[in-house]
């Protein structure tokens, strides 16, 4: 597996990471047995993956524990990213009760995450969502304290806007921004990517496969369970999926030429955008893991990229990315 550095930092990770959220959160339960997911994470390590993404809210808490168990034997060979920023339900049920990035809370979350992750340092600690009630300078200062204490090595932000990124970076250098980015969500190209390039910050692309849609494994007839988080998203209504099928058709055409799958082309396209972009597709299946990792070996020529961009520029996607309450959690 090729390696990449996140921006100008010295944090080197595999070109493709593994998003672990879906192993215990968000998509429709029942979730796989934890032992099976421990085996899958270790299989990823054996195939060259060194970058693993989790968060306290995934579960909550159970995903961090799962990742900690899986990676404890190889801790010195991997990079673990986790996140803070929510008030979680006291009874441990899924969901949250609002944002919370107060410095004292950040430090409490760090200590609890360290225990669940079975480690004495967090490689990359993200603010999960920007908290408008807490100045970002205080957030960056709290993470800076954790870095100086040796509990955290790098500071990250997620779905943060330009002004927030600049202000945070002035207090504690931001190593990575985690944002949704894929062929069906290209908004980061407008202003975020140029800013990251200017400041030397890496981009960690979540939902690089459009929450599964870009794999070509679903269409307008696919039934989503009512407790699947995608079932409430405007972009996943049957009508929107039918209208948006055109992007999967585009990927399928390129995939056929390359003897690849639509998912592999979607990931290869992301990898070709900038050398400091690292996608973190998630999966619970070994076959899908191997399929995703195969994208790192696919080379898209300038002609391929031009063909994709030309065709994609004509696509107008149906449906908003998030519902209004979720959209309010993003910092624009």
Active site residues: 58
Q: Give the tokens for residue 29.
A: 């339960």
Q: How far, in Å, CA of 281 to CA of 298, rounded? A: 16
CB 17 within 8 A of CB 5: no
Query: Contact, 28 vs 227, CB < 8 A?
Result: yes
What does the alpha-carbon distance between residue 281 and residue 245 come to, in Å, rounded to a whole number? Answer: 20
How far apart, in Å, are the Cα atoms of 312 and each of 25, 184, 248, 299, 321? 31, 9, 10, 19, 17
At residue 169, φ and ψ (nearest 5 deg) are: -65, -30
């Amino acid at each position: 597996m090729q390696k990449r550095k996140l921006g100008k930092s010295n944090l080197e990770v595999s070109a493709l990471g593994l998003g672990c959220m879906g192993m215990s959160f968000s998509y429709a339960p029942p979730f796989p047995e934890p032992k099976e997911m421990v085996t899958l994470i270790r299989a990823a390590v054996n195939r060259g993956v060194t970058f693993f993404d989790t968060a306290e809210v995934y579960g909550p808490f159970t995903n961090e524990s799962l990742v900690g168990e899986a990676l404890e034997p190889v801790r010195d060979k991997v990079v673990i990213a986790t996140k803070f920023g929510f008030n979680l339900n006291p009874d441990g049920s899924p969901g949250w009760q609002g944002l919370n990035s107060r410095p004292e809370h950040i430090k409490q979350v760090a200590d609890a995450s360290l225990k669940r992750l079975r480690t004495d340092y967090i490689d990359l600690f993200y603010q999960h969502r920007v908290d408008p009630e807490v100045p970002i300078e205080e957030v960056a200062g709290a993470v800076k304290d954790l870095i100086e204490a040796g509990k955290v090595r790098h500071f990250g932000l997620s779905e943060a806007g330009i002004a927030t990124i600049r202000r945070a970076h002035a207090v504690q250098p931001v190593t990575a921004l985690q944002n949704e980015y894929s062929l069906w969500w290209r908004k980061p190209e407008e202003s975020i990517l140029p800013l990251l390039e200017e400041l030397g910050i890496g981009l960690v692309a979540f939902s690089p496969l459009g929450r599964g849609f870009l794999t070509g494994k679903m269409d307008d007839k696919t039934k989503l369970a009512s407790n699947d988080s995608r079932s409430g998203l405007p972009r996943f209504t049957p009508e929107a999926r039918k209208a948006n099928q055109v992007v999967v058709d585009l990927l399928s055409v390129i995939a056929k030429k390359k003897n690849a799958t639509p998912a592999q082309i979607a990931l290869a396209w992301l990898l070709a955008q900038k050398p400091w972009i690292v996608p973190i597709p998630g999966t619970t299946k070994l076959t899908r893991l191997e399929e995703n990792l195969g994208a790192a070996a696919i080379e898209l020529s300038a002609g391929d990229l031009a063909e994709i961009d030309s065709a994609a520029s004509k696509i107008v996607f149906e449906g908003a990315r998030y519902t209004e309450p979720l959209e309010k959690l993003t910092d624009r």
